[in-house]
Structure 1
Amino acid sequence: MSIVKFEPETRRVQLTGGATLIVSLPKEWTRQVDLKPGDEVLVIPQTDLSLLIVPKKMVKAPMLEASIDILQDLSNIDHLERVLLSYYLAGYDVFKLNFDITTLGLKKQVKDIVRRKLTGVEIIEEGRNTLVIQNLINVPDINIKDVMIKLVRTVVGMIEDLRTPIENGDKSVAMDIIERDNEVDKFYWLLDRQLKRVLVSKHALSLSGLQDPRNIIEYAIINKSLERAADHAVKIAREIVNLGDKYLLVIPQELRQRFSELLVKDAEIMNDVGKAMLGKIDIKEVNSIIDLVKYEVRSAIESTESQLPGYNLTSQAAASARLILDSIYRIAEYASDVGEALINLAIEQMS
């Protein structure tokens, strides 16, 4: 996805036909985009009163292909996953993976990564030593705000459902929450890819639903904050699973109930910032949400933590309780970060 840079050129506006103003196009630019007489262009007015000119034949951008040789230096699946995700985020649509004898065993794990992490990406061809993976989602099909709302709802659902394993140690629900983190990751990587795309293409920006290129930064912050909130929901669920049957024995019922009440507050806060995204952002309302986290939730967490010695917990139980409390507070903090980004978006919309 190379970006060709051109020096600004001055063009004089001319009158033709008695009423029509025309301007010639830079020769080097027309050569780069292969524009010929009779071709059509889209002329798209921008919010800053400038015009964006896009050759109509370029509206559907050509697919970028990457050929990746999976050799010994990529035999670590974590390293390979990072490389694949980086190509995906950079905007590549087709990945041709070539394995050698030392890495052939990674094919199954690569297919699992595609299934769990990448929305709209499918295996379209497979040979003994090769995999061809293709992104099937077109940029115009993605509205960033719509996907963001779906991400918020997924995170809120995870937080709400945490109450069940928190109260009664239900490991099946905890495992389900852990699995749902894959859906969050899919939304997260999809949005990250799309935000990078609109950053380098004004045409993609005009199709994305964003009003202002400055919004890209705020949506990137929101995206990351929601992904981190989901990670902390998973952290709590994993702690319950790891404790297993001991969870109900080492964490008193009264303390478990307190955790559940705090999670109710987390879910309400996260749901409120989600609602704030739906329409015109109310700065006063969002400030109230942030204050709730800063004062009420923090105070409740600190109060609960100060009461832990009174429960006569074992060292393991005390460590688990503190981990759960910390993650409950982190979830609220990330919701607060989303709120701050929403205020920035509201101000940008005013200017």
Structure 2
Amino acid sequence: MRDLGRRSLISIGSSYAVTLPKDWVRRVEGGKVRIVEGSSGELIILPAKEPTSKVSIDLRGIEEGLWEIIAAYLDGYDEIEVRKERIKREDLETLRKALSKLIGMEILEEGSSRILLRCLMNHSSAKPMELLLRMKSIISGMISDLRDAIAEGDRELMSIVAERDDEVDKIYFALVRSIRRAMRSPEIMGMLGADPINLLDMRIAAMIMELIADNIVELAQSDCYCIDLLREISDLFDRGVRSFELKDFREALEVRERVNEIIRDMPAEKSLLPLINILFRIEDLCDLVSPRFL
């Protein structure tokens, strides 16, 4: 960020005016600007024309190309142009399958050598904290259903629980996209009422929760049958997320202390490793609110 120097306010009737550097105004197309309010009440002056949000990708190999598309989605691009000398049926099918993991991303135009993708998700429907709580709701349901599946010996329900991890991944990708866009745009950050530190914490919390979902899948595919422990883990997870949402220092401290007690009393068995990892990650969530002392 370049310091353009201090500016004096000039009183004009019931309003105030502020002068801008000539060289900056000359670089602004048309000399027009936008004034937006930041998350802390500051006023931010921006060029009237928003930067382009388009990217073009050459689809050489389908697998490599898919990762480029996902990376562009996470980086916040609204339009992604996909080009290939000849787009085959299997390329299109693989592309459609990948798009099912990207909330809001749709095929706008389709041809034999070019496909145009557009993200229809807007800022109001992609607020980071709301997405984080949606992740929490799905993960809580996964733990509850896994507990029921173990109690009833229902292998089909265990399989359904594992498949639900895909929905967690979709929301996680949308949340990362939303945070990255907000971090690059003071205007979006102001609309969300967030600041960079909040957004960074939410990004870390989302990553921790996505890992917890992966651990639940491991449990669903293992022979670990700790129903009572899963019930308490479910409660600790809910409390850990709530302490993060509300910035509740005391609850975060209580959850972390109970997690440490459980880990100390658990036997060193390989089958319990996914459970132990979930507990460690709940502790990591609490650390975002109440950091541990060394």
TM-score range, shorter-chain basis?
Answer: 0.7 to 0.9
Q: Deviation per CA, 1:117-171, whole angstroms, max 9, x where unpaired?
A: 2111112222234332210012344221111111111111111111133234322
Question: Which one of the candidate residues 243, 252, 266 is aligned to 1:301?
Answer: 266
Deviation of 1:46 after TM superposition, in Å, equals 5.2
Match of 1:290 in 2: 256
What's the TM-score, normalizing by structure 1? 0.74
Alignment of 1:48-67 (within 5 A): 50-54=42-46, 57-58=48-49, 61=50, 64-67=53-56
Match of 2:279 in 1: 332
- Contact 1:45–1:51 (CA<8 Å) still a contact in 2? yes
Q: Compared with structure 1, are the counterparts of its residues 192 and 45 closer, same or farther at alpha carbon in structure 2 (3 Å cutoff)?
A: closer
Match of 1:265 in 2: 232
Match of 1:309 in 2: none
Question: Which one of the candidate residues 101, 106, 110 is aligned to 2:95?
Answer: 110
Q: Compared with structure 1, are the counterparts of its residues 273 and 33 closer, same or farther at alpha carbon in structure 2 (3 Å cutoff)?
A: farther
Amino acid in structure 1 at the alignment position of 2:254: S
**Percent identical:** 25
Q: Compared with structure 1, are the counterparts of its residues 175 and 45 closer, same or farther at alpha carbon in structure 2 (3 Å cutoff)?
A: closer
Distance (Å, rounded) in 1 between the aligned partners of 2:238 and 2:244: 10
Alignment of 1:76-115 (within 5 A): 77=63, 79-100=64-85, 105-115=90-100
Structure 2: unaligned runs, 5 residues or longer: none
Amino acid in structure 2 at the alignment position of 1:42: I
- Contact 2:240–2:251 (CA<8 Å) still a contact in 1? no
Number of aligned residues: 291
- Contact 1:142–1:208 (CA<8 Å) still a contact in 2? no
Distance (Å, rounded) in 2 between the aligned partners of 1:278 and 1:122: 31
Structure 1: unaligned runs, 5 residues or longer: 240-250, 306-321, 345-351
Match of 1:236 in 2: 219
Alignment of 1:217-228 (within 5 A): 217-228=200-211
Match of 2:37 in 1: 44
- Contact 1:97–1:132 (CA<8 Å) still a contact in 2? yes
Deviation of 1:33 after TM superposition, in Å, equals 3.6
Q: Deviation per CA, 1:21-73, whole angstroms, max 9, x where unpaired?
A: 4221223333444254xx573342552x6431245x55xx46522222211xx
- Name the larger-Rg structure: 1
- Contact 1:98–1:131 (CA<8 Å) still a contact in 2? yes
Name the one with the larger helix percent.
1
Match of 2:178 in 1: 194
CA RMSD of aligned residues (A): 2.6
Q: Secondary structure at the match of 2:91?
A: helix
Distance (Å, rounded) in 2 between the aligned partners of 1:207 and 1:175: 40
Q: Compared with structure 1, are the counterparts of its residues 128 and 229 closer, same or farther at alpha carbon in structure 2 (3 Å cutoff)?
A: same
Deviation of 1:329 after TM superposition, in Å, equals 1.5
Amino acid in structure 2 at the alignment position of 1:213: P
Alignment of 1:135-284 (within 5 A): 135-210=119-194, 212-239=195-222, 256=225, 259-279=226-246, 281-284=247-250
Q: Deviation per CA, 1:72-94, whole angstroms, max 9, x where unpaired?
A: xx24x2x3332221111111111
Q: Compared with structure 1, are the counterparts of its residues 28 and 118 closer, same or farther at alpha carbon in structure 2 (3 Å cutoff)?
A: farther
Q: Secondary structure at the match of 1:96?
A: strand
- Contact 1:88–1:193 (CA<8 Å) still a contact in 2? yes
What's the TM-score, normalizing by structure 2? 0.87
